[in-house]
Amino acid sequence: MFENVLYEVKGQVGYITINRPKALNALNSAVLQELDAVLDAVDLEAVRCLIVTGAGEKSFVAGADIGEMSTLTKEEGEAFGKKGNDVFRKLETFPIPVIAAVNGFALGGGCEIAMSCDIRICAENAVFGQPEVGLGITPGFGGTQRLARLVSPGMAKQLIYTAKNIKAAEAYRIGLVNAVYPLEELMPAAEKMAAGIAKQAPIAVRASKKAINDGLQVDMDEAIVIEEKLFGSCFETEDQKYGMAFFLDKNKEKVKEPFQNK
């Protein structure tokens, strides 16, 4: 359907591949536009988890497209930033979980798109960083906000102020990624995790994502109310009735059926 962003569904998992390998998958307006359209096209009845990765073996996303950005006026810069921020936020608040499978460079906007996903795993060749201040700009796609929340404010400040890249092992040590794999094992690991998510009760998974995301924006008293409401809503689902009835059924011969997403 598109050339800069590929989308494929296998089973209950959707694969989004940023596909500009000649520019190390740098994000230009066309990529951002296509990513937005791909997210709008995801069939949420059928797909239960997304995996985002980069085409080729060298790069996940090497940042926003510096060539395109270099000539922007203040107004155009704001419009480009908004386009990116809107689509990253769409990814972050997407109803189903999104796993970033980081296969190489994740710099600037690349690190930022990975941080907009729910879960990050990476290959041993991954390199993370926010090099923007070396280009005379601040991180613009949420890097100042998400990195500080994901690692620690002190570590985020160090990475952003020094513009220094880090390798996979350091990204793991500071909690930016959940796991590191040899490159050839990265996609199988992402697929295994996605399949593990897809077989759980989908409405409960979505509600858990919403509870975590929304709860992190407010204080604990409000957050716990958000959880209570989403927890309560699960009791209107057939999947809750089936899941609990299956557990309580003492017939050990019975095989668990897939959840119906109802």
Residues near ligand DAK, by CB under 6 A: 23-24, 26, 62-67, 77, 80-81, 84, 105, 107-109, 131-132, 135, 137, 140-141
In the complex, the smallest distance separating the C-beta of residue 86 from ligand DAK, rounded to whole angstroms, is 12
In the complex, the smallest distance separating the C-beta of residue 95 from ligand DAK, rounded to whole angstroms, is 25
By Cβ distance, which residue is nearest to ligand DAK?
140
Active site residue 132: yes
Active site residue 124: no
Closer residue to ligand DAK in complex, CB, 85/208:
85
Q: Report CA 118 to chain centroid distance, whole Å.
A: 5
- Start-to-end CA distance of the chain, whole Å, equals 30
| Cα radius of gyration (the chain) | 19
In the complex, the smallest distance separating the C-beta of residue 5 from ligand DAK, rounded to whole angstroms, is 16
Q: Which of 132, 170, 228, 236 is catalytic?
A: 132
Closer residue to ligand DAK in complex, CB, 31/207:
31
From 204, 206, 181, select the one nearest 192 (Cα to Cα): 181
Closer residue to ligand DAK in complex, CB, 7/88:
88
Q: Which of 68, 78, 112, 170 is catalytic?
A: 112
In the complex, the smallest distance separating the C-beta of residue 89 from ligand DAK, rounded to whole angstroms, is 13
Q: Which residues contact 7 (CB under 8 A, 6 or more apart)?
A: 1, 14, 15, 16, 17, 38, 41, 42
Going edge to edge, which strands form the sheet with 166-167?
A: 59-61, 105-107, 127-129, 166-167
Closer residue to ligand DAK in complex, CB, 4/12:
4
In the complex, the smallest distance separating the C-beta of residue 136 from ligand DAK, rounded to whole angstroms, is 10
C-alpha–C-alpha distance, residues 15 and 80, integer Å? 25
Closer residue to ligand DAK in complex, CB, 135/223:
135
C-alpha–C-alpha distance, residues 48 and 209, integer Å? 12
C-alpha–C-alpha distance, residues 126 and 129, integer Å? 10
Give the residue ranges of DSSP H helices in the chain. 29-41, 66-70, 74-92, 109-115, 143-150, 153-162, 168-173, 183-198, 202-215, 220-234, 238-248
Which residues are marked as active site? 112, 132
